[in-house]
Each structure stands twice: as structure tokens, then as C-alpha cells.
Chains A and B, each alone.
Chain A
Amino acid sequence: MKRIGIDVGGTNTDAVLVADGRVLGAVKAPTTPDVTAGIVAALHRLRDRVPDSASADAVLIGTTHFVNSVVQRRNLTPVAAIRIGLPATASLPPFCDWPTDLAELVRGGVWAVEGGHDYDGRPFMPLDTAAVRQAGREIRERGLRDVAVTAMFSPLIDTDEETAAAILREEVPGVRITCSHHLGGIGLLERENAALLNAALIPLAEATVRGFATAMAEIGLAAPLYITQNDGTVAEAARAAAVPVYSFASGPTNSMRGAAFLSGLQDAIVADLGGTTADFGHLRRGFPREANAVVHVGGVRTLFRMPDLISIGLGGGSLVDPAGSHGGPVVGPTSVGYRLTEEALVFGGNQLTATDIGVAAGLAEIGDRSRVARLDPALVAGVLARARAMIEEQVDRMKTEAGDVVLLAVGGGAFLVPDRLEGVARVLRVAHGDCANAVGAAIAQVSGEVDQVFRDLSRAEAIARAQALAGERAVEAGADPATLSLVEAEDIPIAYLPGNAMRVRAKVVGDIAAVTEPRR
């Protein structure tokens, strides 16, 4: 199977062709504001490099376009919020913990109705279908087309959200609906927030995916198109356009997955050092470990599958303060960012950056080395020692158990990672490390997930049941049943609930099933 992986970054659009476990070609083109032109340019370059890429079996695109849109408050659509949970939940309505500026952009209207379930699956209140219908009429009258539906305990029982969605489709022609149970687990406010963000991004996501399809048509590629997700798996493009929040962290995820593929390692800590930040993550069985915690996106508390990442202000463009504050020099968190090639000493600028230190130490070969020849060797050693201590601390934080780990160092700032580190058995640097993102996209698989409360079962029984359910979902999403494997299972006992309750999360992945009939 030949696959094209594309990473649409803030600066560059990278494209690679991967076949039979090897990278056959890698190219870069500048990212364009419309995204499409940059992809077309990258695909042209890839075809020039590897003519074979014209007959690729699949195109997999990773993009951080949607999360940037939230952070920058751009291209967001007003959303109708439907909360199913009265008479409970009334005093904390949708948007109650959003930053004001973002809420003003996204809040198209709020409707609360009776319904929802209890933790044990009993109905909390019967769903007030008349109220849902009335809300639908008002939504139509207000000209809203994007709706987020959130019901109490919907991750356990999704019927109220689905029934409400069916009524809304009858009442609001052309409505686009996000049901919260598709996005998150227990935690109504956080799950609702994810649904609201998702609904606000769907029009942009649909337009973006149309742009991707146009780009492929322009270049004459007929292969099916997939969009990569936060967890290192993919969704078919039309499906992915319905869940833009699932691509929020696909950039760092693809980078970690790509690093795993390029190194052949399944379990390692990955350090991705760019110009401004260093991202640290933990690969387990080839996938990033997920954060089991609240994640803030653009100031909004959310809870859905995201990789567990630590970012610190350390990269090639980090500014160096020789005086420092704690008796040694300080590096970062401020960075010259994309102005590195103008402002760093080695490029004739007058800012002392981590890159200048790397060049002076002989770790990096860029710019004009003579411009840093007179740097005090003690300062160079001091900055590298500081960077080393920062990296050691983050690596240690990412570990889930004691013992030495393998560290994969990728990204343009990876020269700051020394070959020997406390708590690290060895440091690996990989070929094509600068396009690890696109490689990560190219090798992505399909997944199915479960996050549910089980009662009166042994731990083993509950996990087995969760695994079977997750497998069914993966096949539904397009996985080849023969290739399914469990990549994550976690059980959390629940205090106070009777009946030995435990919450089980499980994730199963499989390869993309061969296409037997043409896809639309």
C-alpha cells in the first residue's frame, strides 16, 4: 500500500510518500492562507520527486487549522446549545465558564429541556420532546444551522441526544448537529464545551475538506482522503469534517507517531524541539499516551481524547540571558520564533539564541559560525547545562514508572538534546526527523474507543467487554477486522457508587481496510 502523508503546518506544508514501511520521498512547500494551494504545490513537488506517488492508495492529511481558529477567534460559526438535564444543571448553563470574547462569538442561543439519565442507566427525567421541537422552531427562526446537543450521562446512554437530534433534523432544514456523546466522557460541562467548539468549527471544517478534495482533483489523485486525529488514527474526510475537535492536537501526535515509525520503536519518550517550544510526549505501543485530564483549548475547559503533552519554552530560537537569575544563564521561554534567520547572531543579527549556543558548541551547523567564535565557553557550557536540566525534568515528568527510557529527539531544535541524560538509557535521532509529522500522517490507523461505567463485573470481564465494544466501533469506522489490536485499557474504580462500579476506557486500532468499492 502506497500512502501520501501531508502535514499542513503554520509555515510549511510537508508531503511524504510511504510504501512498504519505507519513506520513498519527502518534500516541503510554503503553507498558503487558503491551505489548498500549498497542498497542490507540495503534491506537485512530490510527484516530481517520486512519479509513483500519482498512484497512491490513500492520502492522509494532518492539520492544526481548526485549533488555530479557536485560539485566534477566527472563522467560528454561532451555535445553538441544547442542554438536556432539567430540572438539574440549570444554574450552570452552556458557555458558563467560557472566556467572554469567545462566548460572544459562538453563543447563538441556549435552550434547556428536561431529560437525561443517572449513572446506573435509569432515566433521570423523560425527555421533553415537545420542548426540543419548540427549540428547533426557534433555532430555525433565528437562522441558526449549527447545534450542539448535550444530555446528562449521555456517554452511558445516548438515546436522549439521538432522539433530540432526530427531532431537530425534522424541524431545522440543513441543520448540522454535534452530539456530545460522540466527543467525550463523563464531565457534562467539559463534554458540552467540546461539543460547542466542534459545532462552531464544522462549517470551516467542511470548507477545508472541500478544499483538500479540490486540491486532489486538481492534481488528478483519485485515492480516498483521510484526516488525522488527536490519537494518531485517521477518519475518512467526510466523517472527520463532522468532528474538527478531534484534529486539535494532530500536529504533535503525528510528529510522535512519525518518530516511532522512523525509529522502529514502540515505547519511548519523544522530545520534539521546534523554534519556540519543546513538546514532550510518551509513546506506548506506538501511540501517544492520552491525557486523562481536563485540557484547556483557547481558554475553554474540555475533556476529550488528546495526547498527554508537556510543552515548555525551549527551542532553537529561545533567547539566552547570560546574567540569568539563579546563578546561571537562562534560556527561554521567550523566542525570536520565525525571525531566527534575521535576529540570531549566526545570521548577522544581535540576539543571542539557543541556536547560536549550539553552533558555538559544534552541535549545529547553520549560519556563520565565525560570528559566535568569541562567545565565552563557560557561557556556552552553562546554557547547554541549563537546557539539559530542563529536558531531564520534563522527560522524568512524562515517565509513568521508574527506570531508564529511550528518548527520541526530533525537530529543528533537537541539537539541544545531549546524547547522555539522567534517567535516559539512550538518545535516538532519526532520519527524516524534520518531516516526522507527514510520516506520522502517512502511517495512521483507524480506531474505536469506549469510555463507560461497568457494574457488578470483575475487572477482567469489564475490560474484555470494553475491548469488544471498541473493536466493533473501529470496524464501523473502516478498520480491517483482521488487524485489530488493543492499544489502551484503563480502569478507574469509582468511590461512593454501589455495585463495584468501575469506569473503563479502552482503545482498539486496526489498519485501514482495503477499499472494495469506490468511495464517494
Chain B
Amino acid sequence: MRALDAEDIEALAVGAWILGTGGGGSPYHGLLNLRRLYAEGARVSLLDPEELDDGDEIAVVSMMGAPLVILERLVDSRQIARAVTMMEEYRGRRFRAVMAIEIGGGNGMQPLMAAAHLGIPVVDADAMGRAYPEAQMTSFAVGGLEPAPLTSVDPRGNEVVVARAAGWKWMERTSRKVCTEFGSLAATCKAPRLGSEVRRWGVLRTTSQAIRLGRAVRLANRRHQNPIEAVLAAENGIRLFGGKIVEVERRTTEGFLRGRTLVEGLNEDAGSRAEIAFQNEWVVVWRDGVPIVSTPDLICVLDGDTGEAIGTETIRYGQRVVVVALPSPPVFLSERGLSLVGPRAFGYDIDFRSVFGASPSESAA
């Protein structure tokens, strides 16, 4: 277990945004909350999954809802803490630690806020290793773990427990309905996990990964070095394409932000074009019509100057970007993993081929 310092928090905000792969919402409000909690003397510790006992119970947290609503309601650190204590009250048991359902974007900051209030550590793990748009797109769903119960909290004192769900999709539907009634924003504590489940099915050490990424970018910027190189070196990433955004097309369907953007190559990529499709997060990249990378590989579109992530909601014409791939957590490369988060889960009829080499399911075939 190690104590996170103020610089770790700043780095986490940068790294979580990169791991958001275009979505997940901005970590800015979470960062402001944590700065304030740290200024008041709170400290958060990070617990390695190996330090968990099999029977330890872990709270899994996230904010659920629309980024637009967060812009007005803001993020309040006590809300996520309340979702955790509500789960403790419902089950009559205390949690050993808290963890994120998704490390990517604003939800990567949530467990730290809960931990700061509750005085328990944060487990260095999540269930996505990035951001995904739907609740069933998690490693816990891949593992077939129990999706219920879930607590959902609204700041006005409305609190709901989804006690049972017939499956992960049902949990997504029911809890989404509750969230919509709350004004499309709710603090949630997902189904509690045992230490053994986290070690077996969690995506491990993603909080420290995000901090490492953020530190690399911040350090490179301070030293006037290339932050993209820093990202690649920190995470064994692959640089896929560099260029300028020349077209952005967005539409909202079924509650998702879908669309595509065109990147015109510059420098070593001059003469080529990349097209990137998104559904909240970046999903597939084609280079001159040929698919070159798709989810579950992490697709990160970074600002060519600062190395900071650019989101699907904010990308715009003229930005200089570098498209980078980071390795997917292995759990999503299985047949079941690919059925949940592979290109076909997002409606693209292409076979997944990792840019980091053949996926295990392919090599097994």
C-alpha cells in the first residue's frame, strides 16, 4: 500500500483522460474535489490487488449519467461516498476498500473521493482498463459475475437499491431508468466484489498505470520534450497516425454520441487519411480505407503539442493530433470479451486484429 501525494492526483487526472479513449467525461471536477480534500488534510492510499485477502469485500463505484448534467450539478465527493455507505447499510457489512468500474475519464477519480471521506484505501484496479459506454462492457461481465445489487444515489435524498437483475443488460436497463428519473445523473455503487474476484477478473493496476501516463506527459511538457514519445514509452504504445482533423460528424442515437472524424496525414503520414469512428469512445480507425485498429485495443487521440487527450465531444476541425494505440487488457481478448467489446459489439463487421499481435482467441482458432 502506498500513499498518493498531490502530484499523483494531478497526474491521475491527465492519465485517466487518456485512458478514457475519447469518452468517460472530463476528470476536471474530480480533480478539483481531490485538490480540496487534500488541502483539508485528507490522504488516499493505493492498495495493490495482491494485498487483498480472498474474502475482502470491495466497493465498485462510478457516476452514471450525462456529462452535460455534470457540467451543471458538478461532482460532489460526498455523493459517491454515500453510494458506498448505502451499500454497507443495505448489506450490513463494511468494505475493505473501494475501486473504479472504469479508470477512463472522470470515473477514474471517483474511488479516490469516496476513499478520502471513508478512510479506506483504493484498490489499484478497475473493470475496463479504459472507458466503455455500457455497464455490461466490463471484465466482471466477461467473468459472468453477479451484476446485483447496485445502489443509486441522488443528492436530494432519493436512494434506490436494485436488489436483483436477471443479467448485466437488465442491470444496465433498470439502473439507467432510475438514473434518468434522478435527472440523468446518479452516484452508484455497483455489485460488491470479493478480493478473489478482483484478482481473477479485475483489470489490474490501472490506477497506477494512469498515474504513470499522466506523470510522463506532465514531465515531458515541463522539460519541453515530446509528450507523445513519453506516452508511447510509458505504456508500450504504438504510434498509428499523425495529422490534422479535417472533418467531424456527430449524431446522438439511442442515448449515445456516435460519429466519425477524418484526419489528414502530416509529416511521415502526408498523403494518407485516417477515419476514426466513435460511440462515446473511439471504436475503429481506418487508414486509407483499411481498418488498422479497433476496440478492445485502446485508441487514444492525443493533442500533438501537449500529449493530452482529446474527447469525442470536443474534437474539432484544425486540431493537430496523434493517434496512439495502447494494449488492451487480456480479459477482453477472449471470445466472450470480444463478443462484448469487439468491433461487432459496436456494429462494425470486421474481425478484431490487435496491433500488438494476434489475439489469443485467434491463435486458438
Contacts and interface: CB of A to CB of B under 8 A. Distances in A.
Interface of A: 85, 87-92, 96-97, 116, 118-120, 122, 124-125, 152-153, 186-189, 292-293, 396-402, 453, 492-498, 500-503
B180 interface: yes
A89 B252 contact: no
Given A119-B68, A400-B317, A402-B246, A493 B75 contact: no
Contact of A188 (B32, B66, B74, B255): B74
A498 B256 contact: no
Contact of A496 (B36, B67, B76, B155): B67
A104 to B, nearest CB: 15
B65 interface: yes
Interface in B60-84: 65-69, 71-78
B318 interface: yes
B68 A497 contact: yes
B183 interface: yes
A496 B32 contact: no
8 contacts: A92-B32, A119-B183, A186-B71, A188-B74, A189-B74, A496-B68, A498-B184, A503-B68
A492 B157 CA distance: 32
A88 B74 contact: yes
B328 interface: no
Residue from the set A88, A116, A400 with the largest chain B CB neighbour count within 10 Å: A88
A96 B73 contact: no
B184 to A, nearest CB: 6
A312 B68 CA distance: 32
B76 to A, nearest CB: 4
Nearest to A402: B246
A85 B155 CA distance: 10
A116 B66 CA distance: 17
A79 to B, nearest CB: 20
How many chain B residues sit at the interface, stated as a range, is 35 or more
B34 to A, nearest CB: 10
Contact of A494 (B78, B252, B314): B252
B155 to A, nearest CB: 4
Nearest to A301: B28
B318 A396 contact: yes
A293 B314 contact: yes
B318 A119 contact: no
Contacts, number: 115
Given A186-B71, A495-B280, A91 B256 contact: no
Q: Is the interface of A mostly helix, strand, loop or mixed?
A: loop
Given A96-B32, A397-B318, A399-B317, A498 B180 contact: yes
A91 B33 contact: yes
Q: Is the interface of B mostly helix, strand, loop or mixed?
A: mixed
A498 B155 CA distance: 21
A49 B244 CA distance: 50
A188 B36 CA distance: 18
B52 interface: no
B351 interface: no
A89 B318 contact: no
A91 B65 contact: no
B32 A97 contact: yes
Given A186-B72, A493-B250, 14 more contacts: A89-B74, A92-B29, A92-B76, A116-B72, A119-B72, A122-B183, A293-B314, A397-B318, A400-B318, A402-B264, A495-B67, A495-B68, A496-B256, A498-B180
A502 B74 contact: no
A96 B71 CA distance: 15
Interface string B283-309: 000000000000000000000000000
B232 interface: no
B156 interface: yes
A119 B70 CA distance: 10
Given A88-B155, A494-B68, A496-B68, A401 B317 contact: yes
A433 B252 CA distance: 45
Contacts of A187: 71-72
A436 B332 CA distance: 59
Given A494-B66, A497-B255, A88 B76 contact: yes
Given A88-B155, A189-B74, A396-B244, A495 B32 contact: no
A293 B71 CA distance: 13
Residue from the set A92, A397, A500 with the largest chain B CB neighbour count within 10 Å: A92
Contacts of B148: none
B251 interface: yes
